Structure 1
């Protein structure tokens, strides 16, 4: 059941009577707040941009569920339809069955205090055991508490085209504490469109896990995202997660603000990319504050860092941490409050560190990197002697305006002063913080109206209430914006390019504003098309196509489990852009982007569909799923080499196909440790698809990995060729799926 979350004694939490006035820091640096932000272009851009779109409940019709205390809500949710906002009356209910569907303009909202009891065994034997798995678009989940008599991994998956909002969700029960099994992620979210946005606001999860149970990367994650759209997490609390509180491998923007994190391993936030910002968050490393443990009897590791700067898979170098507070007092291990891992550069500014644990530095270094640190305070209340900046001076770019307490070590750089102190008024409390809802996004509604009116022309695709899908595509020689005013129950379309939009309507309306001339309009279906309010014939546009290249249209690729109970795993590579198609999918899992042009995934009975540009270069299926390309069933073995989609130019030139080779170290369930080391001439990435209960290895250099397995599997993808391969003990080694003896290879 839900725990009694004790509130720390104010006298204990705010015992520092030497509070720093923030204005004194700004006066000391000789700057204003605006000037401080101006030193970082990323921070300025993030701060000044308008608030992205959130889920729109006005596109949904409210329906109050006729339920009583103890009733099963899952059956009501399963039977809901597009365009409905389910309102759950105050009470306590059950959720007996997992729900998976695709919905548009759909939501569920609690009216008052709504508690939903979850079976105690859920989410403890697989990462995909979600109580709700919803795809589609314009999805809203709001004001619900999930609880249980046991320790299930309560989880929700929400993958949309453009927009979803998940607000005021409380997972009240403790999370699982089981070894060597996968745990379901609390939230697996993302927007497929690069213009899309998923927001999580007001999430509270005190997971209270055993953070040593990393389980080879299969244990519980707070928030997972690997999609192209923007992710925002704000006003939320995450604690006690053994596999990161927020774990992203995404090319899109991320903003985490006004949140509290405590005792998460190997980090609270995995940060990687110039478009990722963490702002006004507080990080605690102190086991005395909650029920989190770190017990590892001969197995398991922990690293309770606040920020882990990581660039693997779809992440990249860069990131900004600003206006944050870090408090480290009692954790079993942490490389640093801020931990530099694979990410090669990071900006840390206007932050404060309270370092009361001697072996936890403010910034810890694990890889070759450059960190810019400015306007920061490093303090201690017990003269811990911890290092403010770990590593060496070569790991830092700009270090300016820092204050390091006499009770700490400066570390890799000299301090400007030593008398500024940690300000508890700037830090959020834990475990029950009070968030300030006042956000200044710098954009007024009048500004948005002006933006809408700047584009003088309109084009509308009206499904006219039909149940049939009408697909459309249009191009202009100017700018395009989606018009909410001219849309109703539509899907919003996708920007194929800045001046090209593709989409579909089923009964609803998609409307856009644009400037310039319409260069092309295509319609497959019976939707009505209006330009500037006048109905038009799409065939009247685009007849002067220069080359008439109809083959440029995307192909449909579908993996159909055909209702079977067995899992079919798949992997494919294209030489162009890949997008997940909700229209072609049904009860699927959506796959994961291993690279921009590589997808891996699986289906069990359901259907995963994709649209791909260009040729299909590689296709692998392990299982009985049927594969369809543009509606015709194909044999995966015919793809590539001399198959119909292979290119004669591909030959052996793997340089244009990134990370198409694989190497797997398989402990085969044994109890002995097998150490390994390998090197390549190209790039290396860890492959979740080829790994199971492994340790992940460590990068000795960009092209060299060392690691070990005990029973589990560590898998990697790489480009180029192997130059070194060593294995100690009995692990089996597979290269590109073929078992090899490293001692017999000529490298």
Structure 2
């Protein structure tokens, strides 16, 4: 079986074998609890040819790792899986290439060690699939010096402040008929601006001459690289960008050029003021789109469509869309461009002469701009400028530039151009033809407003949450909080509504009548409440309210009945995860769910934070984020009652939730409301996972108590001791404790503990019987003559005669 496209950006991959690789580290990373698993798409890989390796937690790569010539090879991360590198690591950490059918999914690259700048090269002849990969940490080579800073000089080499620094991601499809799909790659390098390093600086994505196929980048986010966001122009294949965010990268946000390449639905945003780079105003050239091919091909044919492009606070920018001197024809359509930086063009077509370093590109050299707006308050220069671009067309556009001496369209030596059906509202000349001849101008409206790139503060954030009202006019309201940044967004066609608020990490809003409210955020939604019946979309997928929360817990009946209590440290909501319907009989007081099920049914909950308490009784299997899980992932302790005789009865109570592990029979019962268990073993053992502490324990019969693998004295849970000491003659007694009770010595066959009533009865002659118990002693009877009852709340001791004379003191 090969690797083929699936739905919603996933892929179907089948492998002959799976090799599980676990880090040699004895414990998971400290920032994530041991039970955590990320909500990443997981695939079932079986039955096909090839192999897959799955990583949980991390693996450190200390040198270049090279795998080549494999067919249908997959790398699938489960949970918080990542490859990490040591300090000052500047190399391709992993190269997988020269095969066909390659999957790399759910594994992050960790460059948080000082001075680390690792690269990842994934190549295949066909069927390259890369999904859900994040670059963690800041990548700055210790020898890099921004251009012009002390110690920098022209020329390559670390001695000049221009060391060779590897790019982050190198995808390659080596066959001209092959395809590659890259989705949800997130990389914010937080790098040095101005560190182009004489062409050797660090870019986010590099697609070079080895690529001959078509690579589609979908929903990727590339930020703050000091060389290029993407250097994907000088390739023998086709590069397509669909959606995604490209922000605050030096030189270019996206760099393309090969024939048939395109950018559609992307956000390209430059705003040094909002950058987290250490020196954002040292950037050399904050372009949006750069179209160029160097000497690779003699013709370009690039389309920019349905994009939002903004050039705001910058040190220098060549323009929103720049067709360089090596670019031939290009198209910009249905795009909104906002220019706030003075002297910067929204669209610039340079003279196509190769710039002196390269041969001129083949004709035609025309630019086509349609249904596109250029807005903002930039001064000087022009919204659109074309130099030696004959037969270009500008139609159905809107140019609204409020800065001083700003022209609308400037044509330089561009004969035979057409400007038509366009609104131009600028402070300077609407159209400057210069020496351009035979320019057709028609249906020009001077004055009027234009659609600007509508940015909510959340449009640049990686995740999106939308509330969509029904068309019947029903009202809804909501409030939610995220763990990271938050801002309003226009995703899904939402408008920015001033009546809705997004303050700090919390949003409060309302809507109805088919309206849409959208937000961008980073991190996770950690708390949410919704009234009314809006439809919710998280990252483009319809979800229930509970599915908005980052973790999904499901309990599935095996046919019999079950009951449970679940508490979380954060928010907890009913969910439709695993395709279930929401059961009104299950209740959620606060962040605790109490419910029951049976008959093969499923109950699901979304939660944030950690599971702080879990009690489960009956026939149920637990699933976390769609994968089978053990109660032990939430409950840190294990108690085992291991029979050492024919029969032993027990009862115990804990303070933090409980669930059976194995050995359970019909005699054993978990009470999820009181977090207690009563049961019996004979020749075997019963085992339970629990949280908190053991607050009571009663044991009758011969059994070892094993706590977290160690045999412990049952008396450790019973701090009080009662000893009945015989004085020679036969004496019977009864004793009832307020808590658990266990034998401490001297027991004979006449002595018995009832774990249900927490009582003991027995007899002594010349010896003694001893018991350990928790809680107060409630009642003691001796030889049936007197009964002693303790009422500790009233500080009262009652001694009642049974008919015969008895003395006491």
Structure 1 length-normalised TM: 0.46
Structure 2 length-normalised TM: 0.43
Larger Rg: 2
Larger helix proportion of the pair: 1
Larger strand proportion of the pair: 2
